[in-house]
């Protein structure tokens, strides 16, 4: 991409100069402690070029971005059988909404809302002998770098996790959770607690920009067709009730987390990660959305 560092720097400076609106997530007490002014970006191309600005090496809690990683693992294990337990339709609702589950008999709308990601944790617990260890091993095998859970963040979320306990109990009442609710949520909170920097996050996710193969480690993480499916699900479901807005303004498959991270993929070209912890009312990074809208406009890299 021509002049990528220049466009990245200019976009970064422009967004940095704007008022930093929104609020840091506080329903997970540990997340409320971060410095709201942190702002970093890293883009890595599938050919290995790397462009960075700001706090691109500061680690943050990736939260819901981890749902794409658990979806990658479960799809490679179960294939289409996964869709007996959930759908792959846009929800148009908040990430932690309970309402659709009632009328849809405990079948989550998609794997990227909390209910879908919790069912995936249940499936992985049934499929794997040591789910937490094997999940971390799967992540570390992608790049060769170690990835770990953050027990303080996981415990902090559990302490106030009434909504996710309600969702999981409700799913279980429909027969869509096989394992113990506490065990399923312990795994789910651990996934969400993973901390990575923008540089690490964009590197980890490069397989989604390269037909399922990580271009540096050469590991075939998932199949080519599962890569296409996951990118499709990210573009329709990655931003919950703001998925349309993200497709319209940014035009890339992506996933956000309440820790303030956004990960987006240009299939065949690059992975980009942005971190800025103030969130807009839909729970997505305020500056992350602003940055990506400008960046994909300037680089003309919307996929649409």
Catalytic positions are: 64, 67, 188, 240, 258
Instruction: Identify the residue among 11, 63, 143, 202 touching ligand DON (CB under 6 A).
Output: 63
Q: How far apart are CA 3 and CA 162, in angstroms?
A: 47
Following DSSP, what letter does each residue of 6-23 receive, concatenated? HHHHHHHHHHHHS---SB
Q: Around 258, how many Cα atoms within 13 Å sit in the side-chain half-sphere?
A: 24
DSSP state letter for 48: S
Among 164, 197, 210, 231, binds ligand DON (CB under 6 A): 164
Subset of 241-260 contacting ligand DON (CB under 6 A): 256-258
* Biggest alpha carbon–alpha carbon distance for the chain: 55
Residue 66 to residues 73, 102, 256, Cα–Cα distance (Å) = 11, 26, 9
Asked if 253 and 239 count as a contact pair (C-beta separation under 8 A), the reply is no
Position 280 contacts ligand DON (CB under 6 A): no
- The answer to whether residue 96 forms part of the interface with ligand DON (CB under 6 A) is yes
Residue list 100-139, contact with ligand DON (CB under 6 A): 114
To ligand DON, the closest distance from the beta carbon of 192 in angstroms equals 4
CB of 185 to ligand DON, least distance (A): 9
Q: Which is nearer to ligand DON, 96 or 223 (CB)?
A: 96
Q: Output 164 or 226, the one with its CB closest to ligand DON.
A: 164
Tell me how many residues contact ligand DON (CB under 6 A): 13
User: Minimum Å distance from CB 47 to ligand DON?
Assistant: 30
Site for ligand DON in 15-34 (CB under 6 A): none
Of 280 and 299, nearer to ligand DON (C-beta) is: 280
Question: Six-digit token pair at 101?
Answer: 């589950």
Angle CA(278)–CA(279)–CA(283) in degrees, nearest 5?
Answer: 155
Site for ligand DON in 182-211 (CB under 6 A): 192
Told to check if 283 binds ligand DON by CB under 6 A, we report yes
Cβ atoms of 70 and 85 closer than 8 Å:
no
Nearest approach, Cβ of 244 to ligand DON (angstroms)? 15
The two structure tokens encoding residue 83: 């869709």
Alpha-helical (H) ranges within 194-258 are: 198-204, 224-237, 243-249
55 binding ligand DON? (CB under 6 A): no
Phi, psi of 158 (to 5 degrees): -60, -40
Q: How far is the CB of 96 from ligand DON (least distance, A)?
A: 5
Give the span between the Cα atoms of 157 and 124, in whole angstroms: 21
Q: How far is the CB of 258 from ligand DON (least distance, A)?
A: 4
User: Could you tell me if 85 and 119 are in contact, meaning their C-beta atoms sit under 8 angstroms apart?
Assistant: yes
Single out the residue of 166, 169, 184 nearest to residue 127, CA to CA: 184
Choose between 51 and 291: whose C-beta lies nearer to ligand DON.
291
Six token digits for residue 148: 């770990």
Smaller CB separation from ligand DON, 7 or 265: 265
Question: Does position 64 bind ligand DON by CB under 6 A?
Answer: yes
Secondary structure letter of residue 145 according to DSSP? S
Q: Which residue is nearest to ligand DON (CB)?
A: 64
Residue whose CB is less far from ligand DON, 40 or 283? 283
Binding site for ligand DON (CB under 6 A): 63-64, 95-96, 114, 157, 164, 192, 256-258, 283-284
């Amino acid at each position: 991409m021509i002049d990528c560092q220049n466009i990245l720097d200019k976009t970064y400076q422009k967004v940095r100069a704007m008022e930093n609106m929104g609020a840091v997530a506080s329903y997970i007490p540990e997340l409320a402690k971060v410095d709201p002014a942190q702002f970093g970006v890293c883009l890595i191309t599938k050919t290995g070029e790397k462009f960075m600005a700001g706090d691109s090496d500061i680690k943050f809690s990736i939260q819901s971005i981890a749902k794409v990683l658990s979806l990658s693992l479960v799809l490679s294990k179960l294939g289409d059988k996964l869709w007996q337990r959930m759908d792959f339709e846009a929800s148009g609702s908040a990430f932690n909404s309970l309402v659709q589950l009632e009328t849809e008999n405990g079948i989550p709308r998609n794997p990227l809302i909390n209910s879908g990601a919790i069912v995936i944790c249940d499936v992985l617990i049934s499929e794997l002998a040591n789910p937490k260890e094997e999940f971390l091993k799967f992540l570390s095998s992608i790049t060769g770098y170690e990835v770990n859970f953050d027990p303080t963040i996981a415990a902090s979320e559990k302490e106030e996790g009434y909504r996710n306990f309600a969702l999981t109990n409700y799913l279980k009442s429909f027969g869509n959770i096989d394992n113990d609710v506490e065990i399923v949520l312990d795994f789910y909170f651990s996934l969400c607690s993973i901390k990575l920097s923008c540089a690490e996050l964009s590197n980890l996710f490069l397989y989604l920009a390269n037909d399922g193969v990580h271009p540096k480690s050469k590991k075939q993480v998932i199949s080519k067709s599962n890569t296409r499916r996951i990118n499709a699900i990210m573009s329709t479901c990655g931003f919950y009730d703001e998925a349309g807005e993200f497709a319209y303004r940014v035009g890339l498959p992506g996933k956000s987390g309440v820790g303030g991270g956004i990960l987006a993929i240009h299939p065949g070209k690059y992975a980009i990660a942005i971190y800025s912890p103030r969130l807009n009312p839909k729970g997505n990074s305020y500056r992350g959305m602003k940055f990506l809208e400008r960046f994909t406009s300037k680089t003309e890299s919307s996929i649409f």
